[in-house]
Amino acid sequence: MKFLIFLSEISIPLILFYIVGFGILMKCHVYEEFVKGAKDGLLTVVKILPTLIGLMVAVGVLRASGFLDMLGQVLGNFTAQIGFPSELVPLAIIRMFSSSAATGLVLDIFKEFGTDSYIGLIASIMMSCTETIFYTISVYFIAAKVNKTRYTVAGAMLATAAGIAVSIFLAGSM
């Protein structure tokens, strides 16, 4: 176990030294390339900032207005029949847009139902089995200037549905 801890502590410094050493061996100006990459990264952040702000504001409005709770109650009648608790419907919706807002919802679920409850287990597993679809698509597609998403949204929604189904299955088997 001590070896694994040592390995995890030294892995990042080793990777950094490897990158710098390889750059020096290739006679590359490592620091200048680093600064250029940092500048490009900062420009990308500036380009996607309006999208990020829009997503965060929209999620905040939906959560504060009570719309998510209402939607959870309406869809909860259907989802309860397939074994998905209605209390998790808002989490499933918000998770597709914002990881931090979903984390806030999970903490609320933990406070109300407990971490080891069936609902708490599904929420925990669901957070690791699903992705922030629309956030990821908007950030990366805007940064890469992709205009046609083709089947990306449909595939991501299918993967999310599979992640939710697996969450229900795994929580039920514990």
pLDDT tens, position by position, 55-108: 778 878 887 898 888 888 888 888 888 888 888 999 998 899 888 888 888 998
Taking a C-beta distance cutoff of 8 angstroms, is the pair 149, 141 a contact?
Answer: yes
Burial 119-131 (b: 16+ CB within 10 A, else e): bbbbbbbbbebbe
| Tens digits of residue pLDDT in 78-92 | 888 888 888 899 999
Statement: the pTM of the whole predicted model exceeds 0.85:
no
Paired tokens of 148:
């046609």
Taking a C-beta distance cutoff of 8 angstroms, is the pair 98, 55 a contact?
Answer: yes
pLDDT at 79: 86
Residue 4 has pLDDT above 90, yes or no: no
Instruction: Give the type of residue at 123.
Output: A
Where does residue 63 rank: exposed (0-12), middle (13-18), buried (19+ CB within 10 A)? Answer: middle
Q: Which residues contact 156 (CB under 8 A, 6 or more apart)?
A: 131, 133, 136, 137
| Cα 24 to Cα 16: distance, rounded to the nearest angstrom | 12
